[in-house]
């Protein structure tokens, strides 16, 4: 399909142009790579007892899988958001702050994985990912999407709507990866927050549309991820697993239905 005449002569917002671009074939850049999001508050903030066993499992998994390991911001990011919002700073500034905290967590995981040759890839160097994946079959990156001052302004408040869950998903979708796994401190998605509601029930599988229709007050992933999945071309489902349970991530990488599957 020759898109040049349309793209060079018409508006990039023209419905005909958009339809033609959408119909064009799209190459999956890293189709055999799985993105793993290591939760900041769920795992990193818990320290050695949570992080070391998970990293051992990730390193072992590189024998059979190629992995991109994204990091969350965790409690430090939430604290920084609270301070910045209290000072009256806008969403774009909070996005920058969140990026720096997620970067700190990526750096710490990178140092711990250094003896295995697994590097940290900065946002401006993502073009080097294929080299690292070919050499050591894994790389670490900060999960916050690099929107910075261009972060979309939310309908309410100033907290960035696209944070590390969304950033990791965007990497998986943009590179056409094999899958997206969120490593949390719960067994998956529940009908309520299981930390403070003993009646909460695990939801093994649910579609994005059904999940949005339920309008749950507490989700295990950012709502922005659900918005992105609604228009995804490649990564049509994500999996949420408990990283505090040894072996669960390995089972998820092997294609086993553990935790919660959220489908597009």
Q: pLDDT by residue for the chain (264 residues), tens digit each?
A: 678 887 888 788 888 888 888 888 888 999 999 999 999 999 999 999 999 999 999 999 999 999 999 999 999 999 999 999 999 999 999 999 999 999 999 999 999 999 999 999 998 888 888 889 999 999 999 999 989 999 999 999 999 999 999 999 999 999 999 999 999 999 999 998 888 888 889 999 999 999 999 888 888 999 999 999 999 999 999 999 999 999 999 999 999 999 999 998
pTM here?
0.94
- pLDDT for residue 196: 85
What is the 8-class DSSP label of residue 242? E
Residue 40 phi, psi (nearest 5): -70, -55
Residue the block writes with tokens 């965790």: 74
Q: What is the pLDDT of residue 12?
A: 83
User: What is the spatial distance between Cα 183 and Cα 163, in angstroms, rounded to a whole number?
Assistant: 15
Q: 125-136 burial by CB neighbour count: b if 16+ within 10 A, else e? A: ebeebeebbeeb
User: Residues 147, 236, 17, CA angle at the centre, nearest 5°?
Assistant: 65
Biggest alpha carbon distance in the chain?
Answer: 60
């Amino acid at each position: 399909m020759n898109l040049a005449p349309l793209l060079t002569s018409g508006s990039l917002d023209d419905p005909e142009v958009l339809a033609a671009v959408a119909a064009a074939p799209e190459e999956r850049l890293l189709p055999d790579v799985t993105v793993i999001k290591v939760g900041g508050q769920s795992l990193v903030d818990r320290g050695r007892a949570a992080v070391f066993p998970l990293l051992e499992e990730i390193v072992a998994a590189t024998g059979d899988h190629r992995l991109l390991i994204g990091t969350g911001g965790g409690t430090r990011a939430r604290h920084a958001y609270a301070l910045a919002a209290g000072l009256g700073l806008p969403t774009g500034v909070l996005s920058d702050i969140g990026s720096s905290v997620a970067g700190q967590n990526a750096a710490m995981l990178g140092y711990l994985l250094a003896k295995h040759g697994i590097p940290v890839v900065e946002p401006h160097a993502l073009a080097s990912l294929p080299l690292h994946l070919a050499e050591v079959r894994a790389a670490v990156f900060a999960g916050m999407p690099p929107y910075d001052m261009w972060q979309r302004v939310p309908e309410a408040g100033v907290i960035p709507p696209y944070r590390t869950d969304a950033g990791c998903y965007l990497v998986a979708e943009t590179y056409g990866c094999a899958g997206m796994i969120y490593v949390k401190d719960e067994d998956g998605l529940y009908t309520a927050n299981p930390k403070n509601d003993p009646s909460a029930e695990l939801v093994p599988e649910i579609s994005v549309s059904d999940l949005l229709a339920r309008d749950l007050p507490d989700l295990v992933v950012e709502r922005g991820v659900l918005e992105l999945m609604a228009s995804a071309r490649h990564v049509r489902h994500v999996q949420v697993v408990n990283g505090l349970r040894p072996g669960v991530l390995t089972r998820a990488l092997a294609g086993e239905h553990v935790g919660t599957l959220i489908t597009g």
